[in-house]
Structure 1
Amino acid sequence: MIYWRKSSHSQGGGQGECVEVSTNTANLLVRDSRDPEGPRLALEAGALATLVSKIKSGDLDL
């Protein structure tokens, strides 16, 4: 069974910004909590840190 942890930075109250990360898998899994059966992003720990850094810096803004 995969256990999920919601980001402490996710907004509550139906704002729609809910990200969850798996806590017990070989690679880290990331999903949208509004679509728990939907796609999941599988990343190694270092890749997740890089992704978060790029998101925070705005490198991935469209």
Structure 2
Amino acid sequence: MILWQKSTFSSGSDGANCVEVAASEEQVLLRESDDPDRILPLTPTGLAALLQRLQAGGRVRR
């Protein structure tokens, strides 16, 4: 069972437009609350790189 936690930076109290995170032994999982079946699995190193790119104002390609 995966336990999801809503980001404290998510807006609104109705649960919409939220980023959620969960952790397994080897990965960090990210998803949007409005599309919970689309999950982005990342290694801790991959998550750190993603966050650095976003903080630097870089775009993320799909």
- Deviation per residue, 1:4-30 (Å, 9 max, x gap): 01111111145x53100113x121110
Listed as ranges, the gaps of 5+ residues in structure 1 are none
The code of the aligned residue for 1:60 comes to R
- Deviation per residue, 1:24-43 (Å, 9 max, x gap): x121110011122x211000
* 4+ runs deviating over 6 angstroms: none
Structure 2 equivalent of residue 60 of structure 1: 59
Q: TM-score, normalised by structure 2?
A: 0.78
Q: Take 1:2 and 1:48, find their aligned partners in 2: how far apart are those partners?
A: 18
Give the strand-richer structure, 1 or 2.
Answer: 2
Structure 1 equivalent of residue 7 of structure 2: 7
Query: How many residue pairs align between the two structures?
Result: 60
Structure 1 equivalent of residue 34 of structure 2: 34
**RMSD over aligned Cα, in angstroms?**
2.2
Q: TM-score, normalised by structure 1?
A: 0.78
Listed as ranges, the gaps of 5+ residues in structure 2 are none
